[in-house]
Chains A and B, each alone.
Chain A
Amino acid sequence: MKKNDVILQTVTNVVVFMIFLFSLQVFFSGHYHPGGGFIGGLMTSGAIVLLLLAYDIKTVSKIIPIDYKLLIGIGLFFAVATGAGSLLFNVPFLTHAFSHFDLPILGETSLHTAVLFDTGVYLVVIGVTMTIIQTIGEGE
Protein backbone atom coordinates (compact mmCIF):
# COMPACT_ATOMS: atom_id res chain seq x y z
CA MET A 1 0.00 0.00 0.00
CA LYS A 2 1.42 3.35 -0.99
CA LYS A 3 1.63 5.84 1.83
CA ASN A 4 -0.44 8.95 1.26
CA ASP A 5 0.80 11.84 3.40
CA VAL A 6 -0.63 14.76 1.50
CA ILE A 7 -2.42 16.36 4.46
CA LEU A 8 0.61 16.14 6.73
CA GLN A 9 2.95 17.42 4.02
CA THR A 10 0.75 20.35 3.03
CA VAL A 11 0.30 21.45 6.62
CA THR A 12 4.01 21.01 7.25
CA ASN A 13 4.82 23.30 4.32
CA VAL A 14 2.81 26.08 5.99
CA VAL A 15 3.64 25.43 9.61
CA VAL A 16 7.41 25.08 9.24
CA PHE A 17 7.72 28.74 8.29
CA MET A 18 5.58 29.80 11.24
CA ILE A 19 7.74 27.80 13.67
CA PHE A 20 10.93 29.12 12.10
CA LEU A 21 9.81 32.76 12.28
CA PHE A 22 8.66 32.31 15.86
CA SER A 23 12.01 30.77 16.78
CA LEU A 24 13.78 33.76 15.23
CA GLN A 25 11.52 36.10 17.18
CA VAL A 26 12.27 34.23 20.40
CA PHE A 27 15.98 34.36 19.58
CA PHE A 28 16.10 38.10 18.97
CA SER A 29 13.84 39.04 21.89
CA GLY A 30 16.06 37.08 24.27
CA HIS A 31 17.72 40.18 25.68
CA TYR A 32 14.62 41.93 26.98
CA HIS A 33 12.00 39.16 27.11
CA PRO A 34 11.95 35.42 27.83
CA GLY A 35 13.77 33.53 25.10
CA GLY A 36 17.29 33.44 23.76
CA GLY A 37 19.67 31.25 21.82
CA PHE A 38 18.89 27.95 23.48
CA ILE A 39 15.12 27.94 23.09
CA GLY A 40 15.38 29.56 19.65
CA GLY A 41 17.77 26.87 18.47
CA LEU A 42 15.56 24.13 19.88
CA MET A 43 12.52 25.53 18.07
CA THR A 44 14.40 25.84 14.78
CA SER A 45 15.51 22.24 15.04
CA GLY A 46 11.91 21.40 15.96
CA ALA A 47 10.84 22.85 12.61
CA ILE A 48 13.46 20.73 10.83
CA VAL A 49 12.28 17.66 12.78
CA LEU A 50 8.74 18.36 11.56
CA LEU A 51 10.10 18.35 8.00
CA LEU A 52 11.83 15.05 8.78
CA LEU A 53 8.52 13.60 9.99
CA ALA A 54 6.63 14.68 6.89
CA TYR A 55 9.31 13.86 4.32
CA ASP A 56 12.15 11.38 4.37
CA ILE A 57 15.70 12.11 5.43
CA LYS A 58 17.10 12.40 1.87
CA THR A 59 14.53 15.01 0.83
CA VAL A 60 15.21 17.10 3.90
CA SER A 61 18.97 17.04 3.35
CA LYS A 62 18.24 18.19 -0.20
CA ILE A 63 16.01 21.05 1.04
CA ILE A 64 18.48 22.13 3.73
CA PRO A 65 21.95 21.11 2.51
CA ILE A 66 23.74 21.78 5.79
CA ASP A 67 26.26 19.58 7.54
CA TYR A 68 25.09 19.94 11.13
CA LYS A 69 28.43 18.86 12.58
CA LEU A 70 29.96 21.84 10.80
CA LEU A 71 27.28 24.01 12.39
CA ILE A 72 28.49 22.99 15.87
CA GLY A 73 32.01 24.11 14.94
CA ILE A 74 30.82 27.45 13.55
CA GLY A 75 28.73 28.07 16.68
CA LEU A 76 31.62 27.32 19.01
CA PHE A 77 33.82 29.60 16.92
CA PHE A 78 31.28 32.41 17.28
CA ALA A 79 31.20 31.98 21.06
CA VAL A 80 34.98 31.83 21.49
CA ALA A 81 35.60 34.66 19.02
CA THR A 82 33.17 36.94 20.86
CA GLY A 83 34.98 36.17 24.08
CA ALA A 84 38.42 36.58 22.57
CA GLY A 85 37.41 39.77 20.76
CA SER A 86 37.22 41.59 24.07
CA LEU A 87 40.92 40.83 24.63
CA LEU A 88 41.72 43.14 21.68
CA PHE A 89 40.32 46.09 23.63
CA ASN A 90 42.44 45.33 26.69
CA VAL A 91 39.53 44.11 28.84
CA PRO A 92 39.03 40.64 30.40
CA PHE A 93 37.81 37.64 28.40
CA LEU A 94 34.05 37.66 27.59
CA THR A 95 33.59 41.34 28.42
CA HIS A 96 30.66 42.53 26.33
CA ALA A 97 29.91 45.98 24.98
CA PHE A 98 26.88 47.66 23.49
CA SER A 99 26.11 50.86 21.74
CA HIS A 100 23.33 52.61 19.84
CA PHE A 101 23.49 52.62 16.07
CA ASP A 102 21.40 54.36 13.45
CA LEU A 103 20.67 51.59 10.97
CA PRO A 104 19.25 52.41 7.51
CA ILE A 105 15.86 50.67 7.75
CA LEU A 106 15.49 49.73 11.40
CA GLY A 107 16.28 53.19 12.75
CA GLU A 108 17.91 53.65 16.15
CA THR A 109 18.82 50.23 17.55
CA SER A 110 21.00 49.14 20.40
CA LEU A 111 23.35 46.41 19.29
CA HIS A 112 25.00 44.22 21.89
CA THR A 113 27.88 41.78 21.39
CA ALA A 114 26.02 39.30 23.60
CA VAL A 115 23.83 38.65 20.54
CA LEU A 116 26.89 37.29 18.74
CA PHE A 117 27.53 34.95 21.67
CA ASP A 118 23.89 33.97 21.56
CA THR A 119 24.22 33.24 17.84
CA GLY A 120 26.93 30.77 18.78
CA VAL A 121 24.62 29.10 21.30
CA TYR A 122 21.83 29.04 18.69
CA LEU A 123 23.99 27.36 16.05
CA VAL A 124 25.45 24.83 18.50
CA VAL A 125 21.99 23.86 19.77
CA ILE A 126 20.70 23.34 16.21
CA GLY A 127 23.81 21.38 15.29
CA VAL A 128 23.76 19.10 18.33
CA THR A 129 20.02 18.39 18.17
CA MET A 130 20.00 17.66 14.46
CA THR A 131 23.16 15.54 14.66
CA ILE A 132 21.62 13.43 17.43
CA ILE A 133 18.30 13.00 15.62
CA GLN A 134 19.82 12.27 12.21
CA THR A 135 22.28 9.78 13.67
CA ILE A 136 19.54 7.90 15.51
CA GLY A 137 17.26 8.14 12.46
CA GLU A 138 19.82 6.72 10.06
CA GLY A 139 20.90 3.86 12.33
CA GLU A 140 19.39 0.48 11.51
Chain B
Amino acid sequence: MTEIINVFAGIFIAIGALLSLVTALGILRLPDVYTRNHAASKGSTLGVMSVLLGAFLYFYTLDGDYNSRLILAIVFIFITSPVAGHLISRAAYNTGIPMWEKSVLDELKDKEKHEKDGLKREKQ
Protein backbone atom coordinates (compact mmCIF):
# COMPACT_ATOMS: atom_id res chain seq x y z
CA MET B 1 0.00 0.00 0.00
CA THR B 2 2.74 2.43 1.00
CA GLU B 3 4.67 1.62 -2.15
CA ILE B 4 1.63 2.20 -4.33
CA ILE B 5 0.99 5.62 -2.80
CA ASN B 6 4.68 6.43 -3.15
CA VAL B 7 4.49 5.61 -6.84
CA PHE B 8 1.45 7.84 -7.14
CA ALA B 9 3.31 10.64 -5.36
CA GLY B 10 6.17 10.27 -7.83
CA ILE B 11 3.77 10.35 -10.77
CA PHE B 12 2.07 13.48 -9.42
CA ILE B 13 5.39 15.26 -8.94
CA ALA B 14 6.57 14.25 -12.41
CA ILE B 15 3.32 15.47 -13.98
CA GLY B 16 3.61 18.72 -12.08
CA ALA B 17 7.18 19.28 -13.20
CA LEU B 18 6.22 18.45 -16.78
CA LEU B 19 3.31 20.91 -16.68
CA SER B 20 5.59 23.61 -15.33
CA LEU B 21 8.00 22.93 -18.19
CA VAL B 22 5.15 23.17 -20.69
CA THR B 23 4.15 26.45 -19.07
CA ALA B 24 7.66 27.83 -19.46
CA LEU B 25 7.71 26.74 -23.11
CA GLY B 26 4.32 28.37 -23.63
CA ILE B 27 5.54 31.66 -22.17
CA LEU B 28 8.54 31.53 -24.50
CA ARG B 29 6.75 30.50 -27.66
CA LEU B 30 3.32 32.15 -27.64
CA PRO B 31 2.97 35.42 -29.54
CA ASP B 32 1.34 38.02 -27.27
CA VAL B 33 0.67 38.80 -23.63
CA TYR B 34 -2.82 37.28 -23.54
CA THR B 35 -1.86 33.87 -24.91
CA ARG B 36 1.21 33.83 -22.69
CA ASN B 37 -0.94 34.66 -19.71
CA HIS B 38 -3.29 31.88 -20.73
CA ALA B 39 -0.40 29.41 -20.65
CA ALA B 40 1.06 30.75 -17.42
CA SER B 41 -2.06 30.97 -15.32
CA LYS B 42 -3.47 27.56 -16.24
CA GLY B 43 -0.44 25.36 -16.75
CA SER B 44 1.53 26.48 -13.75
CA THR B 45 -1.53 26.35 -11.48
CA LEU B 46 -2.14 22.69 -12.23
CA GLY B 47 1.61 21.99 -12.19
CA VAL B 48 2.19 23.47 -8.76
CA MET B 49 -0.96 21.82 -7.42
CA SER B 50 0.26 18.42 -8.65
CA VAL B 51 3.68 18.89 -7.09
CA LEU B 52 2.09 19.89 -3.78
CA LEU B 53 -0.26 16.91 -3.89
CA GLY B 54 2.68 14.61 -4.56
CA ALA B 55 4.62 16.09 -1.66
CA PHE B 56 1.57 15.73 0.60
CA LEU B 57 1.14 12.06 -0.32
CA TYR B 58 4.85 11.39 0.14
CA PHE B 59 5.03 12.83 3.63
CA TYR B 60 1.72 11.23 4.55
CA THR B 61 3.01 7.76 3.75
CA LEU B 62 6.52 8.44 5.01
CA ASP B 63 5.62 9.14 8.61
CA GLY B 64 1.85 9.59 8.71
CA ASP B 65 2.28 13.35 8.90
CA TYR B 66 -1.03 14.87 7.79
CA ASN B 67 0.31 18.23 6.64
CA SER B 68 -2.81 20.36 6.35
CA ARG B 69 -0.78 23.36 5.21
CA LEU B 70 -0.13 21.65 1.89
CA ILE B 71 -3.87 21.09 1.42
CA LEU B 72 -4.45 24.73 2.29
CA ALA B 73 -1.76 25.76 -0.20
CA ILE B 74 -3.40 23.69 -2.94
CA VAL B 75 -6.78 25.31 -2.28
CA PHE B 76 -5.19 28.74 -2.02
CA ILE B 77 -3.31 28.46 -5.31
CA PHE B 78 -6.40 27.07 -7.01
CA ILE B 79 -8.39 30.11 -5.89
CA THR B 80 -5.86 32.89 -6.37
CA SER B 81 -3.75 32.03 -9.39
CA PRO B 82 -6.49 32.30 -12.07
CA VAL B 83 -7.61 35.59 -10.51
CA ALA B 84 -4.05 36.89 -10.76
CA GLY B 85 -4.02 35.89 -14.42
CA HIS B 86 -7.35 37.63 -14.98
CA LEU B 87 -6.14 40.84 -13.35
CA ILE B 88 -2.88 40.87 -15.31
CA SER B 89 -4.74 40.32 -18.59
CA ARG B 90 -7.26 43.04 -17.80
CA ALA B 91 -4.55 45.49 -16.81
CA ALA B 92 -2.77 44.71 -20.08
CA TYR B 93 -5.96 45.25 -22.09
CA ASN B 94 -6.84 48.49 -20.32
CA THR B 95 -3.38 49.94 -20.95
CA GLY B 96 -3.81 49.16 -24.64
CA ILE B 97 -1.37 46.29 -25.17
CA PRO B 98 -2.14 45.06 -28.72
CA MET B 99 -3.32 41.55 -29.43
CA TRP B 100 -1.58 39.21 -31.82
CA GLU B 101 -1.95 40.59 -35.35
CA LYS B 102 -3.66 37.42 -36.56
CA SER B 103 -6.44 37.52 -33.96
CA VAL B 104 -9.85 37.95 -35.54
CA LEU B 105 -12.26 39.06 -32.82
CA ASP B 106 -12.10 41.73 -30.13
CA GLU B 107 -15.48 41.90 -28.49
CA LEU B 108 -14.32 44.27 -25.75
CA LYS B 109 -13.37 46.94 -28.31
CA ASP B 110 -16.86 48.41 -28.56
CA LYS B 111 -17.53 47.93 -24.87
CA GLU B 112 -18.34 51.61 -24.37
CA LYS B 113 -20.93 51.43 -27.12
CA HIS B 114 -22.47 48.42 -25.35
CA GLU B 115 -22.57 50.30 -22.06
CA LYS B 116 -24.34 53.24 -23.71
CA ASP B 117 -26.88 50.86 -25.25
CA GLY B 118 -27.43 49.36 -21.81
CA LEU B 119 -28.07 52.81 -20.34
CA LYS B 120 -30.58 53.54 -23.12
CA ARG B 121 -32.36 50.28 -22.43
CA GLU B 122 -32.54 51.08 -18.73
CA LYS B 123 -34.07 54.48 -19.47
CA GLN B 124 -36.76 53.07 -21.73
The reply to whether B72 and A11 form a contact with Cβ atoms under 8 Å apart is no
**B83 closest partner in A (C-beta):** A11
Mark contacts of B29-71 with chain A using CB atoms, 8 A cut-off: 1 yes-contact digit, 0 otherwise: 0000000000000000000000000000000000000000100
Asked if A11 contacts B112 (CB within 8 A), the reply is no
Q: For window 102-124 of chain B, which residues contact chain A by CB distance below 8 Å? A: 112, 115
Distance in angstroms from A86 CB to nearest chain B CB is: 34
Chain B: residues with Cβ within 8 Å of the partner, total of 11
Residues of B within 8 A of A1 (CB): 112, 115
Query: With A1-B112, A11-B80 given, is the CB distance from A18 to B87 under 8 Å?
Result: no
- Size of the chain A interface, CB-CB below 8 angstroms: 8
Q: Is A111 an interface residue (CB 8 A)?
A: no
Q: A15-B76, A18-B76, A22-B72 are in contact. Are A8 and B112 (CB under 8 A)?
A: no
Residues of A within 8 A of B (CB): 1, 7-8, 11, 14-15, 18, 22
**Contacts from B to A (Cβ < 8 Å):** 69, 72, 75-76, 79-80, 83, 86-87, 112, 115
